[in-house]
Amino acid sequence: MEKDIAIEVKNLTKSYKLYDKPMDRLKDSLGLARKKKYKEHLALNNVSLSIRKGETVGIIGTNGSGKSTILKIITGVLSPTAGEVNVDGHISALLELGAGFNMEYNGIDNIYLNGMMIGFSEEEIEKRLDSILEFADIGDYVYQPVKTYSSGMFVRLAFAVAINIDPEILIVDEALSVGDVFFQAKCYHKFEEFKKQGKTILFVSHDLSSISKYCDRAVLLNQGVLLGEGTPKKMIDIYKQVLVGQYPLPKSEVDNLLDDEEIREAAAAADKKASDKVKKDADNKASKADSVNPDTLEYGDGAAAIEEYFVTDSKGVRTSSIIKGTDFAVHMKVRFTQDVQAPIFAFTFKNIMGIEITGTNSMVEKAFLEPVKAGDVKEITFTQNMSLQGGEYLISFGVTGFKQNDFTVYHRLYDALNITVVSDKNTVGYYDMNSTCKVEDAK
């Protein structure tokens, strides 16, 4: 391994045996099975990558892509089926916070227990004890048995232990957003400290804004296969295509990944479906389901029906994530079952706390003030630039109007879609002012 490499992964494969029944597992373990009683699932399939010292690398991918598996193999929690991992440096891992804690011990005892499990002596832990207690900030509860802690106190202590060990390599699996908002701010501040100190950081996150902001490089996994590695922006763009089924796997990789014939056929069909322009509409409906809210509030008098709703990015690709500062469009397809004098088409953005952030409609935009007939179908597109801060938002859709001067809701869908805004620069408040700043010497 080269001197400037902190982590080297070579041809890593992790295979699991999936059994239909517990009895099949027992028979196989005892050598009593006369034929194969399991299906093989490759959580990782021949993955190779290198991470240089001082580099911050993010791993992204859909659920079940092998992100957590590769971190557990690197940290020694899991053993690979094939391949090898070489690590140069002391690791602190934030995988399953609190793993190894004894629920009967108090917080102090667990700090020493966890520190020794990581590889530190009692004297070394004692030197770090004050900083751990200050970071956790759980007061006198640290002298009480851990089993009496709230879930928030538990993760605060676990995070404080792991983050204050001062490792050469930090490995994080979706563990930065723990506790209340103030504790989260401390976590991110500590993360930035590590980065400035030139420590090697490898982390998994579904928060694409964090990947974009902190990472020098991103790695994209899909179904256990390494699809690519490169700049965060490039990998996020490909990931967005994967999410909507518009980045088909190479056929050779699909064949290597899937042993079961039935699964292989399904994957091949999905691959063809994603790339077949004739079936574009079917693809789009499937992609919408990834970000659609199953608990959408829906009501109206039935004069109109919102049959389809989705968001596209600046390239016209359906997506559930938008990069801040780029153009995007909100789409609706509405079918009318009755004559309507002058329908109004609308959408609004809410944050996850339910606060309406922004929105508009066709009347405000003076885009459509005409009557429609029963059976008419209209496609509505609102195009704009994304200036919202990075984070999670919910979009609501509506078709309204006036019947004899009475405001009427024909069809409304509240909190129908989830949209992630990806940003590497968040300012104060909900919107970015897009300011320019100049600093000069006083004359």
* CA 156 vs CA 142, 270, 355, 427: distances in Å: 11, 42, 28, 27
d(CA 249, CA 270): 10
* CA 332 vs CA 62, 288, 387, 392: distances in Å: 26, 12, 21, 21
Domain pair 5-239 / 291-422, same fold: no
Quote the Cα angle for 111-117-120, to 5°.
Answer: 75
Write down the CATH superfamily of domain 291-422: abc- transporter (atp binding component) like domain (2.70.50.60)
* CA 375 vs CA 84, 304, 334, 336, 337: distances in Å: 63, 9, 10, 5, 6
Tell if the pTM clears 0.75, that is, is over it. no
Q: What is the mean pLDDT of residues 122-126?
A: 89
Q: What is the mean pLDDT of residues 333-356?
A: 91
Write out pLDDT tens, residues 185-234: 777 778 788 888 889 999 888 878 778 878 899 999 998 999 999 998 88
Does residue 155 surpass a pLDDT of 70? yes
Write out pLDDT tens, residues 368-385: 889 999 999 999 999 999
Where along the chain do its domains lie?
5-239, 291-422
Does residue 318 surpass a pLDDT of 70? yes
Which pLDDT score, from 0 to 100, does residue 372 have?
Answer: 95
Does residue 282 surpass a pLDDT of 70? no
Q: How confident is the model at residue 365 (pLDDT cuts 50, 70, 90)?
A: very high
Amino acid 305 reads A
Q: What percent of the chain has pLDDT over 90?
A: 42
Quote the Cα angle for 84-259-48, to 5°.
Answer: 25
Surface-to-core class of residue 166, CB atoms within 10 Å of its CB (0-12 exposed, 13-18 middle, 19+ buried): middle
Write out pLDDT tens, residues 99-110: 678 899 999 998
Q: Topology of domain 5-239, per CATH?
A: Rossmann fold (3.40.50)
d(CA 118, CA 6): 18
Which of 139-148, 280-289, 293-302, 420-429 has the largest mean confidence?
139-148
d(CA 42, CA 66): 9
